[in-house]
Structure 1
């Protein structure tokens, strides 16, 4: 059976959505975390602002607080001079403002009662605050106002950002620096977040050995476990790392049966699902509900999907690039839909730097290096393919910052033709590519 990429994406989403024990509506799936530990997590319920922001009227500028009774005549008497009152620093509750007096006030300081406006320091004469020595001199200090002082100027009103009792963040919000900063500003110290989606990860193969061990003839080091574990962690999932499994169907079947419990939302394996003579996962699950099929995708064609003991199961191919491409194409988008994390990959259009060919009947996913547009007049950036289409080229994968999509039916493309790319450099993020905030993204459909 050959399935399209889109069909398998929907199948994986359906498996996680309808077969997983992960329940975003259950209180048991919620944990309370300090703000510092909640980055990248998803709110399990809405958070109500306990205070207003700002919590009191405060000054937007360093300047002078002007009494409301002094505003009307300021415009009629250019250069009007007022006496200078006591300074108002941030962090105190100031006394009422006296008519005919201009009080020096700092940015963020609480506005005294009867203040009609704040005049920035650069708009008065002298255009700097008096020193402590000036105050100690006993001289009469004064300040000359500009011709026009607008009522309410440079005053941040209580609750102008958010009012106490309003919803600060809704349930399902992904918590990043801005969201956590808002909660901290509201005085919130802990937040209820969804428990992470838990994945049991195991790699199979007699030929695989642990990194750090002495190289053995005919064996390779296990890259898949580290590759997928870090990808899952970056996606906000929790990972239970199983020991490496030998190509023994009986032992694997026993391990899978023992692993299927209510604390796990997904079992994910790599290797052993293709057409070879020693495909251990296929042998171990031959009489189960797990379906083994081919997806019209390169790399990552062989796939497995089903349940084991009621727990969703996905089987990815054993080659490292195939495993990561399978994760990006199928599991990561499904986690976004089910668990609320991670954010969808940023999708852009890019011009090919060189011609490329692709199997007409398959969706080919190549690795590439994206360079943002060099000049303001250029519509898109460019992409250079890194390495070939082989599923073993993990060095090329490590040197890439995008996945390049060549959908089924593409055939061949010339240099300069546009392709869709996904930014996958999670360490540096989109800003490292020089992409401005207003850069046009592809449609949501392209990210699915």
Structure 2
């Protein structure tokens, strides 16, 4: 097999020689350049698989070379070498398209990991967008754009912050970034930060040594070690206490962790993805989320739109969800009536795709015949102003409680206004008698 070829760009001969020796021992050929001009000339003459470049060069900045490589017909992974502690330069380089970074003095084991990940990426299939369109559904412009971004982000090691409302599909996006990356043959570890008791967080994240605290009866690996070589997805990262935010920041910057009770730090190799439905900018302003951590996890921001902003995707999503829900029972997949389809198009979906799944699952239990009617959808009553509510929290628990309160109040008022006449109450609410009875039984309204 042909040996991979790497371009090393540094104006210090000793650094170029050290990097060349390290890569040669990995069976990788190298070419050296001492400035941006020479590097650009070599990139146009030879077909490289990887580039390592210093940030400070005699005729410019390494960022210029990063940008130039992104304009090539077949961009290659490029990693920047930064001064120790200069995270601002590393973050800026990754924003411009750098694959990863390594700090001086160069840690050779970390460099080997970086190079191996970059070469896996070079050998991977150049396009995976078509595959993701069958997982992240939607033909709207915004969804096609997101799939294209996922394909691009998969070719980087940069931390990605995925924003969006609850139920919009943030974890699905994170999984796709992992699946299309050079880390896809390693673990994808997802954790909801709000689900971990605060006193156990440090142990869960970084692990602990036996006897380090009461109840630590054996050594335990943390989430960072469980995701070694793969991707760590921190969902609802806004729920992390400030004390752990400090330690998380150090782990990300130094690429090392210290388990509870351990004296030495342990190197870790993970790609970090994070998400929350909360507004981190507001939390930074009020001091509940560290600004330095926010800038570190938010190297690249990917926003997942709410379902109400892509209503044209509802028919495709509905068909897919119904097929998934009926496959287990081997039933014939029912179709939606025109009225039911129109009702879904008019609905705001405060719970997004997750709520659409719940609505369709409920409809399958209620419908008669071959078609799902609008009554079978049992859409919440009086929710047209949900998105305008200033004190409405989209967290899962509060969403269900909020909808139930609205539905209970609407039903009770209708029954009271019609002196308990269910037929008249159903007519007033625009429901069938059967649908009204179902709702009354569900909410235990006598």
Give the TM-score of the pair, scaled to structure 2: 0.26
Higher Rg of the two aligned structures: 1
- Structure having the larger proportion of residues in strand: 1
Give the TM-score of the pair, scaled to structure 1: 0.25
Q: Which has the higher contact order (CA 8 A, sep 6+)?
A: 1
